[in-house]
């Protein structure tokens, strides 16, 4: 690999190519917010859209002129001129000029199949379209990038002609020739072999634009860079048409940590997880917990042997330090857990346990028995912390249940079902009896519980139920099956998960809700104790 500190220029196309993915749509204000986030990360070029394709993209280019970016340059995107138009009369070319961005990227045909079947023009005329469009746009833009569409398929079919297309772009003055695997069917070794031949004929810098239809977009991008490329295009989280584009969130740490190249400022690597999650939130998509580098499970350890080794030296089962990319190590609690898992979580929670302690052995056995019953603590660490602390006698009894009732009533076919819960609880000898309505029985029970407790514990008004999941554990029993309920709660400062299991879905939900409330009250009591110690 040449040049340990070779600078690789990052070109993000989340706002254009990424939005072609299924279930992804951004408003103009969304795109502006994402552009600023990419600028903060250190992305060099941000492709805002295709101004000739829709009014939203044209509005983006109007609005983005009012924004200030500390590093990134905004790029517009379009195609070469039409065969029956000049650059001066081609609407798409003129819309690019009107976008007034410092950078423009245009694509053209590299595959003779597309020239003959899609454009239906002679091969030589396609070379004219490429040359004319780039040389014309060079008058209006600081930089003109040329995306050689379907380049690898074109090269495999007709290498001589594919080379002619990028030579035409180079002669016209393109600042970078971007080799695209548009169908996403090329494999990494093919990319390396082809690029090593192509670079013999190019003087201009060249880069990568890879699609992920063969699950190789990231690998193909890295292989092209390894072969001498200086520019790589991709999207945040790999958004894009069909199976997506090359994922910049994976490419950036690979370039910097593993290949020793420059891409973004080193200190900005810690922003990768934040940026990944930010864009998911704007797109209203769930976070991929298994996403490399930044996913919740990327550095999660479950097997006892793994955990034992990681506690001695993280390098045994981690390819990088998770903190480098803004992530963190997690140890999961399950029926695969051994003492190492319990001890790791105990240390994380500040619970006093030791390896030789009999209590540790009993906790491991208790855990395995509960998981056999259907409990799962991987998404319910608050329940597990309470389990440990209750076993050690550290959690006080904040309240006692004296009874609850949940009623669902439908008064007519045209009216929705009404859910009402009645709860009686006791706190230090004082009883509270309340009722509450809700959107369904679980919501009604949650409302009634907190309504009953809030006069004793005012901080519960801040607790909100954020997510509720039910899983049937013994489907073969039909409606008599056991269910597991996972609840995610938050108070504006912290988010926590709790679990309940029962053959009755209301009881399972109640158990998870009570754990959620007890966790909040326990954390509040710990804070109060710390506050008293400080005041003394």
What is the total count of domains within the chain? Answer: 3
pLDDT tens profile 4-16: 579 999 999 999 9
419 and 376, same structural domain? no
217-238 average pLDDT score: 98
pLDDT tens profile 145-158: 999 999 999 999 99
pTM beyond 0.75:
no
pLDDT tens profile 44-100: 999 999 997 888 899 999 999 999 999 999 999 999 999 999 999 999 999 999 999
Q: Would you state the structure tokens that stand for residue 315, as one six-digit string?
A: 């390098």
491 and 444, same structural domain? no
pLDDT tens profile 378-396: 667 888 888 888 888 888 9
Helix (H) or strand (E) holding 343: helix 339-349
Residue 38 contacts residue 261 (beta carbons within 8 Å)? no
Q: Would you state the structure tokens that stand for residue 118, as one six-digit string?
A: 């899609």
In a domain, 24, yes or no: yes
159 and 133, same structural domain? yes
Q: What pLDDT is attached to residue 345?
A: 63
Q: Which of 248, 264, 280 represents a domain boundary (last residue)?
A: 264
> Which one, of 454, 464, 472, 458, lies nearest residue 513 by Cα?
464
Name the pLDDT band for 300 (thresholds 50, 70, 90): confident
Ramachandran category for residue 331: left, alpha or beta (phi over 0 → left; psi -120 to 50 → alpha):
beta
In a domain, 217, yes or no: yes
Residue given tokens 């000898």 in the structure block: 429
206 and 120, same structural domain? yes
Strand 400-409 and strand 418-427: pairing? antiparallel
86 and 150, same structural domain? yes
In a domain, 31, yes or no: yes
Rounded CA separation 201/155 (Å): 13
pLDDT tens profile 473-508: 765 555 557 888 989 898 988 889 899 999 899 999
Radius of gyration of the chain (CA): 29
Rounded CA separation 92/276 (Å): 32
447 and 468, same structural domain? no
105 and 154, same structural domain? yes
Range of the domain at 380: 359-392+464-536
Q: What pLDDT is attached to residue 83?
A: 96
CB-CB neighbours of 459 under 10 Å: 13
In a domain, 492, yes or no: yes
Q: Which residues, at least 6 apart from 496, have a Cβ–Cβ distance to it below 8 Å?
A: 381, 382, 488, 489, 490, 516, 519, 520
Write the CATH number for 57.
3.20.20.70
Q: Would you state the structure tokens that stand for residue 99, as one six-digit string?
A: 């976008």
> Which one, of 337, 318, 343, lies nearest residue 328 by Cα?
318
Strand 483-490 and strand 464-472: pairing? antiparallel
């Amino acid at each position: 690999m040449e040049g340990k500190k070779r600078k690789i220029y990052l070109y993000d196309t989340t706002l254009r190519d990424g939005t072609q993915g299924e279930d992804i749509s951004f408003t103009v204000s969304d795109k502006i917010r994402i552009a600023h986030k990419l600028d903060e990360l250190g992305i060099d070029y941000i492709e805002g859209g295709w101004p000739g394709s829709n009014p939203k993209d044209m509005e983006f280019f109007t609005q983005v002129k009012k924004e200030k970016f500390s590093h990134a340059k905004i790029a517009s995107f379009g195609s070469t001129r039409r065969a029956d138009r000049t650059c001066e009369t081609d609407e798409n070319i003129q819309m690019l000029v009107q976008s007034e961005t410092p950078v423009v990227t245009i694509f053209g045909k590299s595959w003779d199949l597309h020239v003959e079947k899609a454009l239906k023009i002679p091969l030589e005329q396609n070379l004219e379209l490429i040359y004319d469009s780039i040389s014309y746009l060079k008058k209006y833009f600081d930089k003109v990038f040329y995306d050689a569409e379907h380049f690898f398929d074109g090269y495999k079919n007709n290498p001589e002609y594919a080379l002619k297309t990028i030579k035409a772009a180079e002669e016209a003055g393109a600042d970078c020739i971007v080799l695209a695997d548009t169908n996403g069917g090329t494999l990494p070794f093919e990319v390396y072999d082809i690029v090593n031949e192509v670079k013999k004929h190019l003087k201009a810098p060249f880069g990568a634009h890879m699609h992920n239809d063969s699950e190789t977009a990231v690998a193909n991008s890295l292989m092209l860079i390894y072969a001498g490329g200086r520019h790589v295009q991709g999207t945040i989280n790999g958004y894009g048409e069909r199976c997506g584009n090359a994922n910049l969130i994976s490419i950036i740490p690979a370039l910097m940590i593993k290949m020793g190249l420059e891409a973004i400022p080193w200190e900005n690597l810690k922003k990768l997880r934040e940026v990944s999650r930010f864009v998911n939130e704007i797109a209203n998509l769930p976070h991929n917990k298994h996403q490399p580098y930044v996913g919740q499970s990327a550095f999660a350890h479950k097997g006892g042997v793994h955990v034992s080794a990681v506690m001695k030296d993280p390098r045994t089962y981690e390819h990088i330090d998770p903190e480098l990319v803004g992530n963190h190590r997690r140890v999961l609690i399950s029926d695969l857990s051994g003492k190492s898992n319990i001890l790791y979580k105990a240390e994380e929670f500040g619970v006093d346990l030791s390896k030789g302690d009999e209590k540790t052995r009993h906790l491991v056995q208790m855990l395995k028995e509960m998981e056999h019953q259907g409990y799962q603590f991987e998404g319910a660490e608050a329940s597990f912390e309470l389990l440990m602390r209750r076993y050690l006698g550290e959690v006080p009894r904040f309240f006692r249940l004296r009874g609850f009732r949940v009623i669902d009533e439908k008064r007519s076919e045209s009216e929705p079902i009404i859910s009402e819960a009645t709860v009686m609880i006791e706190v230090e000898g004082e009883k509270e009896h309340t009722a509450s309505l809700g959107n369904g029985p679980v919501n009604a029970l949650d409302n009634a519980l907190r309504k009953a407790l809030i006069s004793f514990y005012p901080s519960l008004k801040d607790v909100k139920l954020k997510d509720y999941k039910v899983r049937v554990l013994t489907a073969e029993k039909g409606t008599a099956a056991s269910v597991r309920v996972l609840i995610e709660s938050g108070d504006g400062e912290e988010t926590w998960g709790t679990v309940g299991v029962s053959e009755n879905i209301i009881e399972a939900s109640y158990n998870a809700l009570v754990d959620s409330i007890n966790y909040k009250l326990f954390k509040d009591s710990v804070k109060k104790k710390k506050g008293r110690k400080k005041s003394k």
